[in-house]
Amino acid sequence: MTTAQPPVVVIVGGGITGLSAAYYLLRTAREAAIPLRALVIERDERLGGKIRTDIIGQQRQFIIEGGPDAFLAQKPWASDLARDLGLGDELLPINVRKPATSVLVHGKPIPLPEGLRLITPAKWLPFLLSPVLSPWGKAHMLLDLALPARNVQGDESLAAFVRARLGDEALDRLAEPLMSGIYNGDPAEQSMLATFPQFRATERQYGSIIRGTRAMQKKAPANDSSNSSSNSPFLTLRGGMGTLVDALTAALDGNILSGRRVQRITPNAGQPAGYQVQLDDGTALDADAVILATQAFVAADLLSEWQPALAAKLRRIPYLSTGTMSLAFHPADIRRPFAGFGLVIPQSEHRHLNAITVTSEKFTHRAPEGDVLLRVFFGGFRNPDLVEKPDAELLALVRQELRSLMGITALPRFARIYRWRDASPQYHVGHLDLVREIERLAPPRLLLCGCAYGGVGIPDCLRQAKNAAARIFAQVRDTVMVSPAS
Ligand SMILES: Cc1cc2nc3c(=O)[nH]c(=O)nc-3n(C[C@H](O)[C@H](O)[C@H](O)COP(=O)(O)OP(=O)(O)OC[C@H]3O[C@@H](n4cnc5c(N)ncnc54)[C@H](O)[C@@H]3O)c2cc1C
């Protein structure tokens, strides 16, 4: 007598989405006492995708993040996973500074006014006194209080929304660097409904986003994140975001194949609802179900042979390239520090950099005492070509910018460059409809998830991974339940 084999789920992509999907799938199967095999296949030897933490130095250590350095605390999925993996004590809020951020206006860093909630002032006096916007720009923003809610059906761009409610200057100096900066994208193309739906909902409910934000703030004073460090809107892990990847990797011991690229996924002729996963070394794996947690254009390539319509939709999600550079300095080298630990740079300033973070101020323990660790951001829709510049040229450009913006003429103690080619998915107007179409076209037992679809932040990637694991488990469980021992 032989017993039916446990179902096999192949997860393509060993970024945070793929790793956590495998983790949740195996955990659910274990809890339900149902045998199941999950295998993550990652193209690179290194796991984690865009999460990359490097340690530089021996006694005096710098913790360098090449990609994400923190996550939104309000969305529970990342802190939940950290606790599940035994990392609860490693969770730390980012430091609270008032102000946290400055914005470059006509070449000068100006602190954002206290009480600004992205683009809406929640406190009048600091807003009215702030030089971030001209008197005309402020007057235009205040028109939002008088304008009725617009009757916009469907999606619109971030630029169209902000221009209509708050004016051009608010778009240029606040919305573009703060809200499009997250996506490295063009506000004229960025989908309002996929990236900041809460502003559209506020407009509809209150008729004004300033009035709505203030009303919601009054209802929930405990959410005022500027009050104490325990209320910080962002959390990180003491040893860097890579800690999460390391813990997941340890939990998935024996369920990961790295350094192998998936080349093709086709229906498995031998099974009614299975797939064959073709690897670059010629191996073909049978899978009962597949979770695709790669870039959307990679998923398109893997499926294009037999799913041309789905592949065509997947290719409609565009990607941009970005980069970061971390540099260490002596505090005395910083002749003109800006207020807060972040400087955002509007596109209209025509700079090579998009933003600067003083990492050693934003976090405790990321740089040795007496050192300043900076991180600069470049590329994206403004300067995509910068990412391809050779290291020496890039460093020269960054030093030129740091000299002009912060008065730094000294050589950095070190500079570490990270290039993220075709790595930032763009949520263009209509993105939600496109994702719905992709979901509708996906064949049974094949799910797509990750930063290309339902949110780019780490908590949103984890939410998608958890949902994908639950859905795939429900689908393959039935095969186990009905497979008789023969
Ligand atoms: C510079 C930067 C800063 C960021 N900062 C933050 C932040 O502070 N907070 C935050 O929440 N988010 C941040 N993000 C976004 C966040 O890091 C990403 O959205 C998230 O890590 C994406 O995870 P993922 O697993 O969906 O995709 P990825 O990390 O891209 O993983 C996809 C994986 O698929 C693999 N793959 C591709 N093709 C194949 C193939 N054919 N076969 C096998 N494997 C394949 C790739 O090698 C990769 O490892 C940042 C992103 C960047 C680039």
Pocket test for ligand 1, best of 10, 451, 464, 467 (most atoms within 8 A of CB): 451
- Predicted pLDDT at 97: 81
Amino acid at 13: G
- Predicted pLDDT at 437: 98
Ligand 1: centre distance to CA 92 (Å): 22
70-97+320-425 under CATH 3.90.660.20, yes or no: yes
pLDDT in tens, 54-106: 999 988 899 999 999 999 999 999 999 999 999 999 999 999 888 889 999 99
Q: Spell out the alpha helix ranges (H) of 32-102.
A: 77-84
Neighbours of 478 (CB within 10 A): 11
Pocket test for ligand 1, best of 12, 41, 50, 245 (most atoms within 8 A of CB): 50
Return d(Cα 398, Cα 392) in angstroms, integer.
10
pLDDT in tens, 457-473: 999 999 999 999 999 99
Angle CA(90)–CA(96)–CA(97) in degrees, nearest 5? 150
| Domain edges within the chain | 8-49+242-317+428-482, 70-97+320-425, 115-225
Sequence-separated (6 or more) residues with CB below 8 Å from residue 70: 94, 234, 235, 236, 241, 362
Alpha-carbon separation of residue 449 from 265, 404, 471 (angstroms): 16, 42, 12
Minimum-distance ligand 1 atom for the alpha carbon of 324: 1
Return d(Cα 90, Cα 73) in angstroms, integer.
14
Minimum-distance ligand 1 atom for the alpha carbon of 72: 11
- Predicted pLDDT at 117: 87
pLDDT in tens, 271-309: 767 999 999 999 999 999 999 999 999 999 999 999 999
Return d(Cα 164, Cα 296) in angstroms, integer.
32
Identify the CA nearest to 408 among candidates 322, 348, 343, 324. 343
pLDDT in tens, 241-262: 999 999 999 999 999 999 999 9
pTM of the model: 0.95
DSSP string covering 279-314, please? ETTS-EEEESEEEE-S-HHHHHHHHTTT-HHHHHHH
DSSP 337: P
Minimum-distance ligand 1 atom for the alpha carbon of 17: 25
Q: Which residue has the higher pLDDT, 483 or 371?
A: 371
Minimum-distance ligand 1 atom for the alpha carbon of 424: 53
- Give the residue-averaged pLDDT of 190-208: 96
Which amino acid residue places its CA nearest to atom 1 of ligand 1? 67
Fold designation for 8-49+242-317+428-482:
FAD/NAD(P)-binding domain (3.50.50)
Which amino acid residue places its CA nearest to atom 6 of ligand 1? 68
pLDDT-based confidence at residue 229 (cuts at 50, 70, 90): very low
Minimum-distance ligand 1 atom for the alpha carbon of 70: 8
Q: What integer best gives the mean pLDDT of the chain?
A: 94
Ligand 1: centre distance to CA 441 (Å): 24
Ligand 1: centre distance to CA 271 (Å): 32
Which amino acid residue places its CA nearest to atom 14 of ligand 1? 68
Q: What CATH architecture applies to the domain 115-225?
A: Orthogonal Bundle (1.10)
Ligand 1: centre distance to CA 182 (Å): 14
Ligand 1: centre distance to CA 319 (Å): 12
Return d(Cα 448, Cα 28) in angstroms, integer.
19
Return d(Cα 237, Cα 363) in angstroms, integer.
10
pLDDT reading at 318 higher than 80: yes
Residues with CB under 6 A from ligand 1: 12-18, 41-44, 49-51, 67-71, 261-262, 293-295, 298, 322, 324, 420, 423-424, 450-451, 456-458, 461
- Give the residue-averaged pLDDT of 137-151: 96
Which amino acid residue places its CA nearest to atom 52 of ligand 1? 67
Ligand 1: centre distance to CA 16 (Å): 7
Which amino acid residue places its CA nearest to atom 12 of ligand 1? 457
Which amino acid residue places its CA nearest to atom 49 of ligand 1? 49
pLDDT-based confidence at residue 480 (cuts at 50, 70, 90): low
pLDDT reading at 266 higher than 90: yes
Which amino acid residue places its CA nearest to atom 35 of ligand 1? 13
Ligand 1: centre distance to CA 147 (Å): 40
pLDDT in tens, 179-196: 999 999 999 999 999 999
Which amino acid residue places its CA nearest to atom 26 of ligand 1? 450
Which amino acid residue places its CA nearest to atom 11 of ligand 1? 457
- Give the residue-averaged pLDDT of 433-439: 98
Minimum-distance ligand 1 atom for the alpha carbon of 450: 26
pLDDT in tens, 404-431: 999 999 999 999 999 999 999 999 999 9
